[in-house]
Amino acid sequence: MVIWEVASRLSTVPTFMFPGVLQVLETLFNGIINGQITGAIFQSIGRLLVGFTIAVIVGLILGYLIWRYKLVDDTLGFLVVALQSIPSIVWLPLAIVWFGLGETAILFVVTIGATWTMTMNTTSGFKNVPTLYQRVARTYGSSGFHLLRTVIIPASIPQIISGLRLAWAFSWRALMAGELLGAGGGLGHLLETGRSLGQMDLVISVMIIIAIIGTIMDNVVFTRLEKNVQKKWGLS
């Protein structure tokens, strides 16, 4: 930080392109107080939650179908692997044509990016449920939906959580890219605003916020959840 501040003061690049630490912190602080950054945060998180939730639900359902039906596995299962390898932002042009450049297009990209990972993790979680658990349940008379609810789903929780974590990361990246290119506010859009106004202090402030949110979700929420679950499930 000190090096950053000193480098900024000494460098020949004008300060609006390479602002110092203090200036960035000031902008960050003001942005949070006057609502410019705070508003963008809420807008982005809101979108993310909607897209992420849809992706998780769709992923769980598709994952279940692929696990349950051989035919679906042979067709859709294969397709999902292919779709999953497409970076989500690649969907944006299509989304813009289908929905216009707006809220729906961004939501679409956010959702689609996370859906395939979620699907794949759900399928593999279901497929890897130890035979022993299923045998135990069946000797006690469980079958069908009861078996799914009391054994298959709980036994796949560790994999499903890994899926959630990946899905979150995918949709977070897709969201930023989508907002940067599309219209409609949010942190990504604020970045774009900062760039066009030549306010690098704003750009860096937003980047800091993005990094903080990403780290909190990944390290605090998901990693902790994953660790607890793995311990309880006897996986580590």
Partner 1 sequence: MYLTLDGVEKKFQSNTNNEVKVLDDISFEVEKGQFVSIVGPSGCGKSTLLYLVSGLEKASKGKIEISGEQVTKPGPDRVVVFQEDGLFPWLNVLDNVTYGLLLKKMPKKEAEAKATEMLKLVHLSNYADSYPHQLSGGMKHRVAIARALVMDPDILLMDEPFAALDEQTRMALHNELLEIWRKTKVTVLFVTHNIREAVLLSQKIIVMATRPGKIKATYHVQTTQDGYTPDSVTLDLEQKILATLEEEMEKVLKEELGDDYNFKKSDIHRDTNGDMGSGI
Q: Is 157 in the site for partner 1 (CB under 8 A)?
A: yes
Q: Is 151 in the site for partner 1 (CB under 8 A)?
A: yes
**Smallest distance from the beta carbon of 114 to partner 1, in angstroms?**
25
**Smallest distance from the beta carbon of 140 to partner 1, in angstroms?**
4
For residues 196-235, which are near partner 1 according to CB under 8 A? 231-234
With CB under 8 A as the rule, give the number of residues binding partner 1: 20
* Residue number, 70 or 195, with CB nearest to partner 1: 70
Tell me which stretch binds partner 1 (CB under 8 A): 2-10, 56-64, 139-147, 199-207: 139-147
Burial of 66 from C-beta contacts in 10 A (0-12 / 13-18 / 19+):
buried
* Residue number, 40 or 161, with CB nearest to partner 1: 161
Using CB under 8 A, which of 22, 136, 212, 220 touches partner 1?
Answer: 136
Using CB under 8 A, which of 155, 166, 176, 206 touches partner 1?
Answer: 155
Q: Is 164 in the site for partner 1 (CB under 8 A)?
A: no
Residue in the structure block whose two tokens are 């860096």: 204
What is the CA 11 to chain-centroid distance, rounded? 37
Q: Is 70 in the site for partner 1 (CB under 8 A)?
A: no
Q: Is 146 in the site for partner 1 (CB under 8 A)?
A: yes
CB neighbour list of residue 134: distance below 8 Å, 6 or more residues apart: 147, 151, 152
Q: Tokens for 56?
A: 């998780």
CA distance 42 to 36: 10
**Smallest distance from the beta carbon of 167 to partner 1, in angstroms?**
22
Q: Which long-range contacts (CB under 8 A, 24 or more apart) does 218-221 make?
A: 218/165, 218/168, 218/169
Q: Tokens for 89?
A: 């932002």
Using CB under 8 A, which of 23, 104, 124, 142 touches partner 1?
Answer: 142
List the one residue out of 62, 221, 235 whose CA is nearest residue 158.
235
What is the CA 180 to chain-centroid distance, rounded? 16
* Residue number, 40 or 137, with CB nearest to partner 1: 137
CA distance 58 to 147: 21
Q: Site residues (CB under 8 A) for partner 1?
A: 132-133, 135-142, 146, 150-151, 154-155, 157, 231-234
